[in-house]
Amino acid sequence: MGVVRPNRADMRGGLPLKNRARALRGNMTHPERALWKELRDYKLGWRFRRQFPIPPYIVDFACIEARLIIEVDGGQHARPGDHYLRDGELQREGWRVLRFWNNEILSNPQGVLRTIAEMLGPPLDQSPHPDPPPLAGEGS
């Protein structure tokens, strides 16, 4: 018997959570679609996932490499105070959480993107190497 590898769906909360995330991707709000247009395809130098399961939650956007979650808030979300509990649990798991109101995304998209970019830092491929090779003609 070989090594048993966990199923990705199980790691992300099982098939019900995966299916719920898939349904949410097909039913994004206008502000979520507007923000996704700016986050997708490495436009900020980082890869984002939309409606991403982090059990027991599904977050609006997640950059796994930067451990950053972006939530788009409007009237469709849970009761007041639930965000604090949810954010606290995600932060204990090592995630950073940014929240933006729908109207902020629509009325000030450049400010929202600037805040996200500042939280992300330089893209992974632009970060200085921890042990750069010697320049030509240097070294032994």
Residue 5 belongs to a domain = no
Is 69 part of any domain? yes
User: How is residue 20 written in tokens?
Assistant: 């719920």
pLDDT for 65: 95
Residue 140 has pLDDT above 60, yes or no: no
Q: Is residue 137 part of a domain?
A: no
Confirm whether 13 is domain-assigned. Answer: no
Please check the confidence at residue 27 and state whether its pLDDT lies above 60: yes
List the strands of the sheet with 96-101, edge to edge.
49-54, 57-63, 68-73, 96-101
Q: Evaluate whether residue 136 is within a structural domain.
A: no
Q: Is it the case that residue 55 has pLDDT exceeding 70?
A: yes
DSSP state of 124: G
> 69-119: per-residue pLDDT in tens?
999 998 655 566 788 899 999 999 999 999 999 999 999 999 999 999 999
Nearest alpha-carbon partner for 117 in 66, 44, 47, 68: 44
Query: What is the extent of the structural domain holding 109?
Result: 30-74+104-121
